[in-house]
Structure 1
Amino acid sequence: MMYRLVAELAMVAHFAFLAYLVVGGFLAWRWRRTIYVHLAVVAWALFSLASHVECPLTDVEDWGRRNAGLPQLPPSGFIDYYIEGVVYPEQYTNLVRLGVAVLILFSYVGYLLRRP
């Protein structure tokens, strides 16, 4: 029971991370100092995409799933398991990534324009 909870909390943290990746720049319009956290989140996302380094949350979720007797995530990882082919068709992956990048850039432009 405890291992399953660990796996599920890691999954929720993953979704929260992705949500913050998309909207965190807009949150910085109101809470200006959070831009530094968002820059770190964007840097991690770019690094993991470019280097194919697995997110530590994936390891935590896999550990919890394995110890709970559940199947592990596929080698392709969290996004391929929970998002691609579920939230949007797999063939639109690059379009979705571009859309996220545009949203982030738009949020940063707004952040800069809203400077006091």
Structure 2
Amino acid sequence: MGYEVLVVVALVLHFGFLAYLAVGGYLAWWWPRTIWLHLITAGWGVTVVVASLTCPLTDLERWARAGAGQSVPDTGFIDRYLTGVIYPEDHVWTARIVLGAVVVVSWTGFVLRWRRRRAQQQARISGQAATYR
């Protein structure tokens, strides 16, 4: 039973990682400190794609499935659960480009919001300094 739980945990973590990859930059608009976690997440996502690495969560899922006596998939998480389900099989690169564009838009919005907050803080500080003179 423990191996089956590990399979589920690996799948949930994988879905969570991909969801955070897609929306983490937008979450940083409200929680700016989380941008660092999103930069790391996006960096890992790009590294896995560019270097054709196997994600450790995929290895965990395969190991747990083998331990549970289940069939072990020869494809990765995205190929097995997303390709052909969320987007057509022949549009893998289109999906990657769209996801990349979503991330870039979120980061652009983050930078614009951060600059506006900083300018507002500077204006408040300048206003307070003028009051004390």
SS where residue 87 of structure 2 aligns?
coil
Match of 1:16 in 2: 16
Give the CA deviation at 1:94. Answer: 1.1
Q: Residue type matched to 2:94 in 1?
A: L
Match of 1:63 in 2: 63
Q: Residue type matched to 2:36 in 1?
A: Y
Q: CA separation in 1, counterparts of 2:38 and 2:86?
A: 23
Ranked by relative contact order (alpha carbons within 8 Å, sequence separation 6 or more), the top structure is 1
Summarize the alignment of residues 96-107 of structure 1 with structure 2, pairs less than 5 Å apart.
96-107=95-106
Q: CA separation in 2, counterparts of 1:69 and 1:88?
A: 30
Give the CA deviation at 1:95. Answer: 1.1
Give the CA deviation at 1:7. Answer: 0.7
Match of 2:76 in 1: 77
Alignment coverage as a number of residue pairs: 115
Q: CA separation in 1, counterparts of 2:60 and 2:16?
A: 15
Q: Residue type matched to 1:78 in 2?
A: F
For the pair 1:52 / 2:52, whether they are aligned, the reply is yes
The normalised TM-score by structure 2 is: 0.84
SS where residue 22 of structure 1 aligns?
helix
Give the CA deviation at 1:85. Answer: 1.1
Q: Which has the larger radius of gyration?
A: 2
Q: CA separation in 1, counterparts of 2:14 and 2:73?
A: 13
| Gap regions ≥5 residues in structure 2 | 118-133
Output one character per residue of 1:63-95: Cα deviation in whole Å (capped at 9) or x when no partner.
111111111121x31110111012211111111
Q: CA separation in 1, counterparts of 2:22 and 2:36?
A: 15
Q: Percent of aligned positions with the same letter in both sequences?
A: 43
Output one character per residue of 1:9-52: Cα deviation in whole Å (capped at 9) or x when no partner.
10110000000000000000000010000000000011110111
